[in-house]
């Protein structure tokens, strides 16, 4: 699984899963543009990777997305792989959640994937390419108090399937990854805010037949597979990476 001489754009690459994917892609021979609203974080990751470019911006802003894709091509030479990873999670029931919160979650998680794909596809058309959307097990296994997040991640699977149909003729493969619990700064922060983090972790691990939660590297390896020629006949699919959590009934 190599990406030699390929250029990838990874959104939300300043930390967590996005950072893990950027690092893994560089290991596999790619040049990577890291597009994140946290510009300093993106620059810090890029400095440690060598052939990497940091781009500051909001995936929900069309002009900023358009500029990020243009800068990626201008400075790195092409665009072969897009990873739509940027996402936010804000909890609350439908009755409690403000319309502004709903709009923001959908804007980042789903509109962002739409916009980045919209401007990346013309760069790939005729040469071929791969788009990897980072969805979630929330797409088909919902949890209380997560209406906006669950809706956005479910929508991402629909977007994945339709883009695979529409752009297969362009040589563009489109797939999704559905992570479960992954040890990221966001998850660590969530655990730290709970009344009893240790007990919660023990309960979470009971639902993981593999005996652990995931790491960004686990998702990065899956993304590398889907982005590489090893998955040359895989499109319109989603890959669950959750240590068998969902099939355990959690």
Domain spans, the chain: 7-180+216-248
Q: What is the mean pLDDT of the chain?
A: 95
pLDDT tens for the 250 residues of the chain, in order: 899 999 999 999 999 999 999 999 999 999 999 999 999 999 999 999 988 999 999 999 999 999 999 999 999 999 999 999 999 999 999 999 999 999 999 999 999 999 999 999 999 999 999 999 999 999 998 889 999 999 999 999 999 999 999 999 999 999 999 999 999 887 887 777 778 888 888 888 888 999 999 999 999 999 999 999 999 999 999 999 999 999 987 6
Closest CA relative to residue 105, chosen from 158, 141, 153, 70: 153
d(CA 217, CA 211): 17
How is residue 64 written in tokens?
Answer: 């900023």
pTM, to two decimals: 0.95
Instruction: Give catalytic residues, as residue numbers.
Output: 149
In this structure, are residues 176 and 134 in contact, taking their beta carbons and an 8 Å threshold? yes
Q: 145: left (phi > 0), else alpha (psi -120 to 50), else beta?
A: left
Q: Domain 7-180+216-248 maps to which CATH number in 3.30.70.3270, 3.40.50.720, 3.40.109.10, 3.30.420.40?
A: 3.40.50.720
Handedness of CA 4, 116, 161, 127 (dihedral sign): negative
d(CA 148, CA 142): 11
Residues 33-47 have pLDDT tens digits of 999 999 999 999 999
In this structure, are residues 90 and 41 in contact, taking their beta carbons and an 8 Å threshold? no
Please give the backbone phi and psi of residue 56, each rounded to the nearest 5 degrees, phi first.
Answer: -95, 130
Q: What is the pLDDT of residue 19?
A: 98
Chain position carrying tokens 């655990």: 191
């Amino acid at each position: 699984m190599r990406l030699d001489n390929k250029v990838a754009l990874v959104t939300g690459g300043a930390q967590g899963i996005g950072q893990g994917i950027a690092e893994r892609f560089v290991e596999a021979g790619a040049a990577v543009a890291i597009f994140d609203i946290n510009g300093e974080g993106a620059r810090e990751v890029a400095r440690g990777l060598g052939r990497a470019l940091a781009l500051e911006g909001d995936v929900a802003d069309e002009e900023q997305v358009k500029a990020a894709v243009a800068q990626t091509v201008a400075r790195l030479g092409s665009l072969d792989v897009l990873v739509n990873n940027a996402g936010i999670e804000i909890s609350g029931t439908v009755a409690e959640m403000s319309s502004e919160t709903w709009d923001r979650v959908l804007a980042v998680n789903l509109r962002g994937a739409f916009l980045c794909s919209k401007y990346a596809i013309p760069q790939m058309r005729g040469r071929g390419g791969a788009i990897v959307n980072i969805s979630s097990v929330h797409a088909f296994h919902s949890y209380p108090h997560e209406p906006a997040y669950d809706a956005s991640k479910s929508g991402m699977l629909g977007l994945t399937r339709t883009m695979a149909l529409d752009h297969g003729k362009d040589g563009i493969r489109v797939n999704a990854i559905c992570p479960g619990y992954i040890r990221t700064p966001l998850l660590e922060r969530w655990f730290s805010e709970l009344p009893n983090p240790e007990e919660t972790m023990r309960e979470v691990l009971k639902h993981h037949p593999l005996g652990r939660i995931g790491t960004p590297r686990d998702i990065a390896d899956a993304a590398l597979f889907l982005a590489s020629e090893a998955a040359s006949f895989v499109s319109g699919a989603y890959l669950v990476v959750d240590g068998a959590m969902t099939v355990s009934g959690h």
